[in-house]
Amino acid sequence: MTTTYDVVIIGAGPVGENVADRLVQGGLTAAIVERELVGGECSYWACMPTKALLRSAAALRAARQVPGAREAVTGDLDVAAVLGRRDSFASNWQDDGQASWLESVGVPLYRGHGRISSGRVVEVTAGDGSTTTLTARHAVVVSTGSSALVPDIEGLRAAAPWTSREAVAAKEVPGRLAIIGGGVVASEMATAFGDLGSSVTMLARDGVLHLAEPFVGERVAGSLRDKGVSVRIGAEAGSVKRNDDGTVSITLVDGEQIDADELLVAIGRTPNTQDLGLETVGLTPGSWLTVDDTMRVVGPDAAPLGDGWLYAAGDVNRRVLLTHQGKYQARAVGDVIVARVKGEPVEDERWGRHAATADERAVPQVVFTDPEVASVGLTVAAAEAAGLRIRAVDYDLGATAGSSLHAEGYQGHARMVVDEDRKVIVGFTLVGPDVGEMVHAATIAIVGEVPLDRLWHAVPAFPTVSEVWLRLLEAYGR
């Protein structure tokens, strides 16, 4: 059976869904292929269920930090209720709702493994072994995402460790949890399982959130230790063994042994391109896909493959491994395919409608640890590495009037990184309770390249924690 559409999309996560939506809105036909659940990693094993795991404890902490509310708190977390709420946000790992949405917007869903068999042709193998051939008139979009990386540590794979998927979907809270890694997933899961009652040991060889500003890792690591997490900076696993009783033993490179009931590996991601048919277009199976700013896949010479029919959006292109940036790329790629098909102007210049320019220097991120971390743009180290002449301005977030109202003993920190030649902000980092909701203002300032002299007129409401903007500008010296 062969069916033809304008565009065929491989991968029905949030990126693929958004590509399909933009294509249909633009008047093209599109089909989407998915081998797992419609909605992808974010819906079932990442963004939504992880934040559900973290939110209940965060709300409890917030109540306990405000006199009057604190006295009303009479118990601890109900673990079963937390896990139940997590299940609901993962739709109990059923994709009926999102599959129905595809149907409602006129996008046929082909369940099975999609593989490029030749130019513009995708072969779909269903669970029962039957195959369907989909031909694209104009483009194929790869949005297959990424999976957790399991490193080559002796005995690790044989020990069947948790990755982020198993941790997020856990039905029980382990008494002892060891975590290899110190990045976002490791830090959030250390926070979540520590709050849920696990005795957590975190083996953070490179530090905690080491890609962020240094003060971020220091504060998050300190908070984890305060709640009883053993944070082992510089510790590195040399070998792993799953014991007969089901427990796990991790031997560090220095010979020390750590025992746990479960082990979570959270050190990075690998692209889902192992069996995608990349060899048919001259690329290496299992590799990340390099794209231009319109998400068109390019070869080693940086030129589009063939006549430019292959696109890749989301994690799989390794530009930014964040759902919101993947959806941003999806909007760009959906719209640019429509423009190219219809012969309309392609706006692929910097900040053009069809270019994912924000991927370069304006990526926002929130880490839902205790305290929260919110950042956008460049750190001091990244800005200096980019050759910018910069100045960093810091302020104690707890010194604003709004913070004292928000929580008793509020502690936090803010930093803005200024490009001294253009007098605009190129980086902004916040760490403190509930700072995630403050990051979009900084994102707008960076994307809009708003001069500091104009930002002076953006008056923060009193008394809010956002008054830190005024204090940072004062510290900079208008």
DSSP 360-378: HH--EEEE-SSSEEEEEE-
Name the band, by pLDDT with cuts 50, 70 and 90, for residue 431: very high
Question: Residue 2: is its pLDDT beyond 90?
Answer: no
Name residue, tokens 């956002």.
Answer: 466
Which pLDDT does position 478 carry in this prediction?
61
Q: How far apart are CA 326 and CA 360, in angstroms?
A: 13
Burial 308-347 (b: 16+ CB within 10 A, else e): bbbbbbbbbbbbbbbbbbbbbbbbbbbbbbbbbbeeeeee
> Taking residues 38-64, what's their average pLDDT?
97
Which pLDDT does position 28 carry in this prediction?
98
Question: Residue 196: is its pLDDT beyond 70?
Answer: yes
Q: In this structure, are strands 30-34 and 109-111 parallel, antiparallel, or unpaired?
A: parallel
Distance (Å) of CA 271 to CA 286, 290, 312? 6, 12, 12
Q: Note whether 75 and 99 are within 8 A (CB).
A: no
pLDDT digits (tens, 9 = 90+) for 326-347: 999 999 999 999 999 999 999 9
pLDDT digits (tens, 9 = 90+) for 439-459: 999 999 999 999 999 999 999
pLDDT digits (tens, 9 = 90+) for 67-119: 999 999 999 999 999 999 999 999 999 999 999 999 999 999 999 999 999 99
Which pLDDT does position 306 carry in this prediction?
86
Backbone angles phi, psi at 189, to 5 degrees: -70, -30
pLDDT digits (tens, 9 = 90+) for 267-316: 999 999 999 999 999 999 999 999 999 999 999 888 998 899 999 999 99
Would you call 154 helix, strand, or coil by DSSP? strand
Which pLDDT does position 152 carry in this prediction?
95
Mean pLDDT, all residues of the chain:
97
Candidates 235, 225, 177; CA nearest to 201 is: 177
Candidates 211, 171, 166; CA nearest to 187 is: 211
Helix (H) / strand (E) containing 39: none
pLDDT digits (tens, 9 = 90+) for 155-195: 999 999 999 999 999 999 999 999 999 999 999 999 999 99
pLDDT digits (tens, 9 = 90+) for 227-263: 999 999 999 999 999 999 999 999 999 999 999 999 9
Which pLDDT does position 223 carry in this prediction?
97
Backbone angles phi, psi at 248, to 5 degrees: -125, 135
Q: Note whether 179 and 248 are within 8 A (CB).
A: no
Which pLDDT does position 302 carry in this prediction?
87
Cα angle value 167/438/335 (rounded, 5°): 80
Sign, Cα dihedral of 435, 441, 447, 453: negative
Q: Note whether 6 and 95 are within 8 A (CB).
A: no
Count of CB atoms within 10 A of residue 461's CB? 8
Q: Note whether 32 and 143 are within 8 A (CB).
A: no
Which pLDDT does position 1 carry in this prediction?
66
Which pLDDT does position 301 carry in this prediction?
86
pLDDT digits (tens, 9 = 90+) for 366-424: 999 999 999 999 999 999 999 999 999 999 999 999 999 999 999 999 999 999 999 99
209: left (phi over 0), alpha (psi -120 to 50) or beta: left
